[in-house]
Structure 1
Amino acid sequence: MEKEIVALLINRDFLGLEQFIDLFGTDIIKCIQAILSHSGEINYRKEVENEVFYRIWQKISTYDAEKSSLKTWSLTITRNICLDKKRLIIRERNIIPMDQLPENTFEADYFEKEHFLELVKHLTTEDQLIFLKYYYYQDTPDEIADMLKMNVSQVYNHLSRGRKKIKEMIDLTL
């Protein structure tokens, strides 16, 4: 079935896209909902969903069945698009008109958040999501574990590994 869908998509047949959406659409939507879960992000879900299907339509020729299943490949694309959108939303929310900020607050808060986002960018996508939820949105490890369907101890492990990697990066820049 997957081979037929891939062949149809490569040939730009919309029947292949319909079959793809029937087969994987629910999983893609659940992934989007899991990552874009905060109230300020809900309005972006449909936009991301459309972007995911469009990107799959455009990039289907790069799919390699030897490397992964079609589901894994498409969910990886979905997760990356969602995380990119989440980063964009975070950056947009940090932009405050300069005339409303005291002079010293701008440098301290804004640049610290921008620096944090630059450091987080070097983590794995899963670690990025956990870091953003924990440090930016201040979700509890229990909430993160429930949302990502993992044990709380795994959340702590991801946070610990991420902190170590960020510390190593900071040490290299000093």
Structure 2
Amino acid sequence: MRKEKGMTQKQIADQMHISDKTISKWERGLGCPDVSLLGELSQLYEVNIEKILLGNLESNDLETGNLKRIKFYVCPDCGNVISSLGDADISCCGRKLTPLVAKPADEKHIATVVDDEGEYYITFDHEMNKTHFLSFVAYVTSDRSLFIKLYPEQYAAVHLPKNGGGNLIKKNSSRLYYYCSQHGLWIF
């Protein structure tokens, strides 16, 4: 990790206020950093602490970026939404996040799609209050995704362009994801 950063042992040691001999010992496997130094090492090397402890910095398999494999993550504390196209270690607010599993739309989470002159107008018969609401809608085709953030106390509806390369009405070349704050991720 130090070499990836283009730094010497002395430079790392000076930044951490320790000796370069200590860095040398760590790199030769003759010692381990004190737990109190892991946070600083993590920031310095821009690496997850868990990866430092495991000594495992293997890359994920090369993904082709296929949007059909898109994964969504939502932080239960702050509501932050993150997406990825491949395997990823995602965390927010100090918690490791797992990808959401999309469920097929049910009668309480159904989308109504109207084909309206060059765009889709999509409505949801869903509560939109501060404790139960749709947080986002994502329209995903084979080569692009459009993310739309929704907020409590607004009308649960979105306009989507039809020129996205997919046909939402047929549901075979595009997908519509939406996230309910109480019941998780849904797919139409």
TM-score, L = length of structure 1: 0.22
> Which is strand-richer, 1 or 2?
2
> Which is helix-richer, 1 or 2?
1
- Greater C-alpha Rg: 2
**Larger RCO of the pair (alpha carbons < 8 Å, separation 6+):** 1
TM-score, L = length of structure 2: 0.21
